[in-house]
Chain A
Amino acid sequence: MADAQSLKQLVLGRKDVQDLSDNEAELPPELMTVNMGPSHPAMHGTVRIVLTVDGEKIVKSDIQPGYLHRCFEKESEHATYTQVFPYTDRLNYVSPMINNVGWAMAVEKLMDLTGKLPKRAEYIRVIVSEMSRITDHATCIGASAMELGAFTPFLYLLKAREWLYELLEKVSGARLTHSYARVGGVSKDLPLDFDADLTRCLDRIDGVVVDVEKMLLSNKIFYDRVVGIGAMSKEDAIKTGCVGPIARSCGVDYDVRRDFPYSVYPELEFDVPLGTTGDCYDRYLVRLEELRQSARILRQCLKQIPDGEIMSDDHRVALPPKKDTYNTIESMIRHFKHIMDGVRVPAGEGYAFVEGGNGELGFFIVSDGTGRPYKAYCRSPSFVHLSTAGQLIHDHYIADVVPIFGMINMIGGECDK
């Protein structure tokens, strides 16, 4: 018997609870340090959190991003303005189209092209941006729900996302890294039957949103895991520079599309949903509503989009038609200069910002008059939001880190730049 007991101790490394004295039965009072990430199955993105826990409760956290740092800003200094588009694809890689558009707008601002693009190009940009917003929010909601154990909404939403990705692939030629926008417009026109495809897609997505809503909205398990978790006050949200769905869930009534309207957003009708409590549940609700609003914008766009050019006719940015390139020296030179030297941007500096999947996504460019940026800076919402994470998870349990991080929707590519 005694042998069996010691064997048990040897194997388990501890005594049975009933064998412990009262003192020993209590949990150790010291704080413990736990690593979460950088590669954690229940974590959004690649980020390391060093948690100091008192039992299960977080008393201190050290959040260390940077694992996906690719020197976006430095690399941009060595590429022509057009060659930067593929780099922007890799910022927020769940909604690359919006990044494309943001970069293009910043360059256009420096070239004094803002508002001078053909209407069709602007509409196409809005269409692909809103499609990207749906993929972004769908991923965020789906992945967050999955991390809390609800696997079905994840599959539903990712299926919906895949429909849009397929459509975007038809538009741009690439499923994820579109590199679709160009300075002065977009690289190619919408494919044949795009209207019908997108309408059908939106109808199906509407159904998915209803399904997901049914599955999550009054789901006791989901509800209990997110309500009151990671709440932030309106003041804190403003103070920390939060934007996008996160700020709106806290009641900050700010949407770049409405407050600093760009492109053809003034011609479109949409509502900006607001939350009240600023907790994870509100963030989920705001994103869910934005899915519907994006679909609403898309349907309007399909009705209103005019025929016409997809590229500005300004020779400073527009590539000549291939026929001219091959047959006239003038167009040949222009084509050559655009490709080899890059779009020549007048010296100066400018900042342009768009409503990205996660909020205000801005690009600041300093130009020295050559074909590449002298300096580029990206105001990435994820980076700002991540800086609030430490405050949000404070005093919560380890398990709450998962929904809080899920709903902050930190995208490594964008955060680390």
Chain B
Amino acid sequence: MSETVTLTIDGQPVTVAKGTNVLEAAKLLGIDISAFCYHPGLPIVAQCRQCLVSVEKNPKLQPSCQQVVAEGMVVHTTDHQSTLARQQQLEFTLVNHPIDCPICDKAGECTLQKLYFDHDNANSRVDTPKVHKAKVVDVGPHIVLDQERCILCSRCIRTCDHTSGQHQLEFAHRGDHEILTTAPGEQLDNPYSLNTVDVCPVGALTAKDFRFTMRAWELEATPSVCNGCATGCNIEIHHRNERAWRLVPRHNPDVNHYWMCDEGRFTYHELREERLGGPVVDGLPASWDRAIAVAGKRLSMYQAHGDQIGIVLSATCSNEDNFALASFAKAIGAGHVYIAGKPPVPARADGRLRVADVNPNTAGVKAICEALGITAEPTYQLDRFLPQTLRALIVLGHITPGLDQTKLAEVEVIALGTHERGPLANAKVALPIAAWAETAGTITNNKGHVQRMHAAFPPPGTAIAGWEAIVRLAQAAGHKLAWTHAREAFAAMTQAVPAWKDLVWQREVRPLALRFAGSRG
């Protein structure tokens, strides 16, 4: 029995894997069969009737999402019957749809708008008043429901069932009074609830976080990776005016499929809180040149005794940043290397996307240390060496659990971080570095995928990439690190870490203007 099936769609032959549905097969040919309820990551229900196509030798139109391909099948998507079916279905769907586009958050990325414009585009023939339903229904902590806008595709219901395993949404009533509502005694509060907003083809479910903040078509999308936990869900940063406005999941069958958790979506807020905008030397703002010179000078005082210098790597920073600092640690012969990171949150782990380790790059730092022959310990081991044994510390990242700030005050701390928190608040020299959304780099998730992040917007103030700051620091201390681009740091790293030797640096991508990208649906 062959594993592939060949069929004809609109006169073009296409060969697909057995079990594929007609809609997916048509997509391969670039034929856009309109659909509302179909989502590639969800079970198929064929209830919107928008994707009807005619299949030869079959007297009735078939929903292409549910119709599995068969050998020799002949499908027509542009014949009179299926075109008319699409148009009439759209007309039907719009009968009770409110005239909300100007105030709707989904406008500009709305599947209903797109499909109507592409497949119908006719005038209204309805002169009866629309059926009105509830407009602002608070269905959960993150989501507002507009029942009028809902076209009853059930994607959100299936998303809740599928991503979180919790049945929190349901349909109630019948006919043109049918509404989407929460299941009895339930709230839409599962940790994956915001996926329902993404899959909603209209503006029925909107995120409180994004509602009325920014017009969807004015945003630009840059691919990146969520830094919220060790899963490393692939995301798109939607940004404009040099800041992120929301994070949405990007499809990756190996990591997160089409989904991500709510907590991860909110991580962009931190990018704007308490950021360190410029270098600080002894509590006073300084130029980069002065800060680097001072740091280099103070480091060189201890260089003769490398074991007096401690290095703190960070599981919250990129592979490049950590590799740069680890290389520097090797070069100065640092006696003690530690790995900082947020403490695990066991309650998070649910066997789905959320895991206990809330650091994005734990696996990466470990791999780098191993490859460079560095024995690294967690930061809470560090306290006992302070302040006598270790006289100077180079700290990456602002999260250093278990470190006593009063003891830190007595040693020479050179801290590189994004936020003016933790060791950066009291460091002798604090150097601002770019956060994950602001620089090119890679992080390694808990399954060992080395994933690329792209810079969506520039870092605040005079902050520079972490690896670059470390390179400047190393040069000031008289060591040869001479990378000028993240690509070079990455190349050196892939040579050093055997498991990564085949990785290639992915070219920088230009932000995609959502306005001309068509509907995201």
Contact = CB atoms under 8 A, between A and B. Distances in A.
Given A316-B121, A331-B123, A371-B516, A336 B99 contact: no
A327 interface: yes
A328 B515 CA distance: 24
Given A332-B101, A336-B107, A370 B122 contact: no
Interface residues of A, number: 22
Nearest to B97: A329
B516 A329 contact: no
Contacts of A327: 99
Residue among B98, B113, B116, B126 with max Cβ neighbours from chain A (10 Å): B113
Given A337-B113, A341-B516, A370-B516, A329 B98 contact: yes
A20 interface: no
A330 B124 contact: yes
B518 interface: yes
Nearest to B98: A329
A19 B334 CA distance: 89
Nearest to B126: A328
Interface string A314-332: 0110001000101111111
A315 B120 CA distance: 10
Given A370-B518, A371-B516, A340 B116 contact: no
Interface string B116-130: 111011111010000
Given A320-B123, A337-B117, A344-B117, A330 B94 contact: yes
B459 interface: no
Nearest to B93: A329
B483 interface: no
A330 B123 contact: yes
Contacts of B107: 336, 340
B123 A333 contact: no
Interface in B89-124: 91, 94, 97-99, 101-102, 107-108, 112-113, 116-118, 120-124
A333 B101 CA distance: 7
Contacts of A372: 516
Contacts of B126: 328
A345 B97 CA distance: 27
Interface in B493-521: 515-516, 518
Contacts of A315: 121-122
A375 interface: no
Contacts of A320: 123
Residue among A328, A330, A332 with max Cβ neighbours from chain B (10 Å): A330
B302 interface: no
A328 B516 contact: no
Interface string A328-363: 111111101100111010000000000000000000
A81 to B, nearest CB: 12
Contacts of B122: 315, 330
Contacts of B101: 329, 332-333, 336
Contacts of A316: 121
Given A340-B515, A341-B515, A372-B516, A329 B123 contact: no
Contacts, number: 62
Residue among A326, A331, A332, A344 with max Cβ neighbours from chain B (10 Å): A332
A199 B439 CA distance: 65
B210 interface: no
Interface string A369-390: 0111000000000000000000
B359 to A, nearest CB: 40
Contacts of A337: 113, 117
Contacts of A331: 123-124
Contacts of A371: 516
Contacts of A330: 91, 94, 116, 120, 122-124
Contact of A328 (B99, B113, B117, B120): B99
B217 interface: yes
Contact of B99 (A326, A334, A340, A344): A326
A381 to B, nearest CB: 31
A216 B126 CA distance: 67
A328 B121 contact: no
Contact of A329 (B99, B118, B217, B518): B99
Nearest to A338: B117
A342 B113 CA distance: 13
B124 A328 contact: yes
A336 B97 CA distance: 15
B152 to A, nearest CB: 16
A333 B116 contact: yes
Nearest to B96: A329
A334 B515 contact: no
Given A331-B123, A370-B516, A371-B516, A340 B217 contact: yes
A332 B99 contact: yes
A339 to B, nearest CB: 10
A237 B516 CA distance: 43
12 contacts: A315-B122, A327-B99, A328-B123, A328-B124, A330-B120, A330-B124, A334-B116, A336-B101, A340-B107, A341-B217, A342-B516, A344-B118
Interface of A: 315-316, 320, 324, 326-334, 336-337, 340-342, 344, 370-372
Interface of B: 91, 94, 97-99, 101-102, 107-108, 112-113, 116-118, 120-124, 126, 217, 515-516, 518
Given A329-B94, A341-B117, 13 more contacts: A315-B121, A320-B123, A328-B123, A329-B99, A330-B120, A332-B99, A332-B102, A333-B101, A334-B121, A337-B113, A344-B117, A370-B516, A371-B516
The 4 closest A-B pairs by CB, nearest first: A328-B124, A315-B121, A330-B124, A337-B117
